[in-house]
Amino acid sequence: MPMGSRHDETGWLNDNGGQWVLRVEGGGQWQLDVGLWTAWRSRNLIGKRVRVIGKRAGFDLLDVDRIEAL
């Protein structure tokens, strides 16, 4: 997967010591780079099943555009 590729992933949103992590349903996980506004609006989704849309910014890092509940 090249850097900058778009991703639309579903899984469980977790907070790992202040770093948000998406545990993908099919296995694996993404570290999430979440902006302040997105984090504030989405904080109630921690521990729930979500859809995350963003761009790949590193090996296992997504630069998040949107998080929504499923």
- Per residue in 22-62, pLDDT (tens digit) is 999 889 999 999 988 888 888 999 999 999 999 999 999 99
Q: How many helices (H) does the chain have, and how many strands (E)? A: 1, 5
| pLDDT band at residue 1 under the 50/70/90 scheme | low
Element (DSSP H or E) covering residue 8: strand 6-16
Q: What is the pLDDT of residue 39?
A: 83
The CATH number of 6-69 is: 2.40.50.140
* Torsion angle defined by CA atoms of residues 65, 53, 23 and 1, in that order, rounded to the nearest 10 degrees: -110
**pLDDT score, position 58:** 92
3-state class (DSSP) for residue 43: helix
**Of 68, 65, 70, nearest to 55 (Cα)?**
65
Say which amino acid occupies 15.
Answer: D
